[in-house]
């Protein structure tokens, strides 16, 4: 309700089905001054029954080429990882899920992820390798995806 009353630039969100408050449709606009600018990317945000004690998951249903998005569309960012210490030692507990996060902070983090890919611990190894080693090819691929997302509107 808060997002409907006070929309935030860069995304919109609403229930997939009015009878299920645990699954939301999300549309994220590619951030200005990035290679994703002008794109319109759809995702599903799924909340566990013990939310806010556990994080939701976010999966893009639109095609997205990004080091921090698995090939199946799942988003991999620290704040969506279970709370507590990272068993792999990559993230501080303070960087992981906390019940203080909101839909707004999650989506703003995803927008930030689009602006600044983290190729240190990639979800999509091929995208991360291309981001590091063949930036022009990466940009061409993203430009095609952005155009495709605009045509779907």
How long a stretch of residues is the chain?
A: 153
Backbone dihedral region for residue 119 (phi beyond 0: left; psi -120 to 50: alpha; all else: beta): alpha
40 is catalytic: no
28, 64, 76, 142: the active-site residue: 76
Active site residues: 76
């Amino acid at each position: 309700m808060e997002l409907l009353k006070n929309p935030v630039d860069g995304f919109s969100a609403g229930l997939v089905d009015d009878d299920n408050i645990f699954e939301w449709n999300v549309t994220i606009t590619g951030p200005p001054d990035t290679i994703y600018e002008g794109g319109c990317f759809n995702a599903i945000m799924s909340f566990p029954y013990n939310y806010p004690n556990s994080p939701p998951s976010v999966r893009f249903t639109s095609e997205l080429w990004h080091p921090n998005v698995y090939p199946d569309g799942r988003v991999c960012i620290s704040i969506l990882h279970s709370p507590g210490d990272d068993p792999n030692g990559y993230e501080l507990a303070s960087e992981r899920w906390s019940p203080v996060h909101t839909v707004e902070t999650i989506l703003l983090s995803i927008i930030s992820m689009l602006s600044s890919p983290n190729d240190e611990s990639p979800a999509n190894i091929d995208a991360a390798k291309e981001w590091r080693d063949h930036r022009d090819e990466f940009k061409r691929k993203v430009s095609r995806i952005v155009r495709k997302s605009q045509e779907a509107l």
